[in-house]
């Protein structure tokens, strides 16, 4: 009797970068060489690569300790960090996850934060240590769900209550993060707002599809690079169970620090005024960030028409803090090493009379483009 051939996978061209290979400065020796079927910590078996970032990959896995007909398979998402991540940064992310998960459990916003269930380190075949964070698996970004339920990506009368409900849920999560966890996210963007799975069967069906159509990949020497596969298919039912989740606290900062927070944060298109002006930022930067996710396509002039002129107190703070310097310096988008906000963003944006310098209009146009 001949054995059935394993399902064929697509072999990708070696010369075309795949996923994490596109990250500037990527070096394969720092990435954990994960493969489907690998078992980490004698507990979690890797199934499919579902995400990647500048310093990690994310894999859907299942808990091999949960076996038996009467015990449904338990799925998790494993964030496997690169080994060149500084120890201080790894400890920082893990500590903030613990801080957020251990605050007031009776707050309604607690369940809106996708914090790590646990964290540990694994050793690669090269002997390098990699931090692994374990999360509940999430389905897809909120922007993709919105696209599914709206008409041509425009909110309709029928979808408006659903969108408003998710905004309220996210505000509850931000309130918990700020008032109970005392953490500033600093990196709120549409890709970091995910939604939960509608039911367990969605993951089961997704993995069954993987047995027929495995991840595309390419072989480079003794390593394999897999193309991320995270399309879990259409939603058939259970839309009300798909609760929004705030994810990725890798760049989050404790809000209780005594010294002013002035270093650059946030995606370009969502950056708060106090960050751009270098006057010190706090929890309010997240709130601007959250609101800007809905109106970032508006130009600066339109924003002023909506919310009014810059308050005199902000203008005064900007002038008082022009002498502050960052330690350590930061590299701006042009590759220049900068130790102050003026160099990093091309400030000052404010003229002596409190109006805008021309450089702000240029920056705003660049941000919209």
The per-residue pLDDT for range 74-130, each reduced to its tens digit, is 999 999 999 998 888 888 989 999 999 988 888 999 999 999 999 999 999 999 999
Using alpha carbons, list the distances in angstroms from residue 32 to 1, 53, 155, 216, 246: 39, 13, 41, 18, 26
More confident residue, 64 or 240: 64
Using alpha carbons, list the distances in angstroms from residue 285 to 179, 203, 212: 14, 36, 46
The per-residue pLDDT for range 176-228, each reduced to its tens digit, is 999 999 999 999 988 899 999 998 889 999 999 988 889 999 998 888 999 99
Query: Can you tell me the distance from the alpha carbon of 226 to that of 343, in angstroms, rounded to the nearest whole number?
Result: 39
Query: Can you tell me the distance from the alpha carbon of 47 to that of 59, in angstroms, rounded to the nearest whole number?
Result: 7
The per-residue pLDDT for range 27-65, each reduced to its tens digit, is 999 999 999 999 999 999 999 999 998 889 999 999 998
**What DSSP string runs through 290-337?**
HHHHHHTTS-HHHHHHHH-SPPHHHHHHHHHTTT---SS-EE-TTS-E
Most distant CA atoms of the chain, gap in Å: 87
The per-residue pLDDT for range 284-324, each reduced to its tens digit, is 999 988 888 764 433 333 445 455 666 777 667 766 677 77
Within 10 angstroms of residue 294's Cβ, the number of other Cβ atoms is 11
What is the value of pTM for the model shown? 0.76
What are the boundaries of each domain within the chain? 19-246, 259-368
Within 10 angstroms of residue 364's Cβ, the number of other Cβ atoms is 19
Q: Which residues participate in the annotated binding site?
A: 79
Kind of pairing between the strands at 223-226 and 44-52: unpaired
> Positive or negative CA dihedral for 272, 286, 264, 192?
negative
Looking at CATH, the fold of the domain delimited by 19-246 is given as Transferase(Phosphotransferase); domain 1 (1.10.510)
Query: Can you tell me the distance from the alpha carbon of 364 to that of 369, in angstroms, rounded to the nearest whole number?
Result: 9
Buried residues in 118-157 as b, exposed as e (16+ CB within 10 A): ebeebebeeebebbbbbbebbbbbbebbbeeebeeeeeee
Q: Which two tokens stand for residue 20?
A: 């994490």
Q: What is the pLDDT of residue 132?
A: 96
Q: Which residues participate in the annotated binding site for ATP?
A: 79
**Which of 31, 114, 21 has the alpha carbon at shortest distance from 80?**
31
Q: Which two tokens stand for residue 244?
A: 């929004």
Q: What is the pLDDT of residue 10?
A: 86
């Amino acid at each position: 009797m001949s054995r059935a051939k394993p399902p064929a996978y697509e072999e990708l061209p070696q010369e075309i970068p795949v996923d994490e290979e596109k990250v500037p400065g990527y070096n394969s020796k720092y990435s954990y060489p994960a493969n489907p079927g690998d078992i980490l910590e004698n507990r979690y078996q890797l199934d499919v690569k579902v995400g990647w970032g500048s310093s990690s990959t994310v894999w859907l896995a299942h808990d091999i300790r949960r076996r038996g007909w009467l015990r449904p398979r338990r799925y998790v998402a494993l964030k496997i960090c690169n080994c060149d991540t500084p120890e201080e940064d790894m400890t920082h992310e893990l500590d903030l996850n613990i801080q957020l998960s251990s605050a007031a459990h009776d707050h309604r916003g607690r369940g809106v934060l996708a914090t790590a269930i646990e964290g540990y380190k694994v050793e690669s075949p090269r002997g390098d240590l990699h931090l692994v964070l374990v999360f509940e698996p999430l389905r897809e970004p909120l922007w993709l769900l919105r696209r599914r339920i709206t008409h041509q990506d425009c909110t309709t009368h029928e979808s408006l209550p659903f969108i408003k409900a998710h905004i309220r849920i996210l505000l509850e999560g931000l309130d918990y993060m700020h008032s109970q966890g005392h953490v500033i996210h600093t990196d709120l963007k549409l890709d970091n707002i995910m939604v939960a799975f509608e039911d367990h069967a969605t993951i089961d069906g997704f993995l069954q599809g993987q047995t027929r159509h495995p991840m595309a990949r390419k072989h480079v020497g003794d390593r394999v690079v897999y193309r991320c596969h995270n399309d879990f298919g259409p939603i058939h039912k259970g839309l009300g169970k798909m609760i929004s989740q705030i994810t990725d606290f890798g760049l989050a900062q404790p809000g209780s620090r005594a010294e002013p927070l002035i270093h650059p944060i946030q995606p370009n298109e969502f950056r708060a005024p106090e960050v751009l002006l270098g006057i010190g930022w706090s929890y309010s930067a997240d709130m601007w960030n959250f609101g800007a996710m809905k109106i970032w396509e508006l130009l600066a002039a339109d924003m002023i028409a909506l919310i009014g002129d810059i308050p005199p107190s902000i203008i005064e703070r900007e002038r008082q803090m022009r002498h502050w310097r960052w330690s350590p310096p930061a590299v701006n988008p042009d590759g220049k090493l900068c130790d102050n906000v003026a160099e990093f963003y091309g400030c000052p944006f404010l003229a002596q009379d409190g109006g805008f310098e021309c450089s702000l209009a240029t920056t705003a146009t660049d941000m919209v483009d």
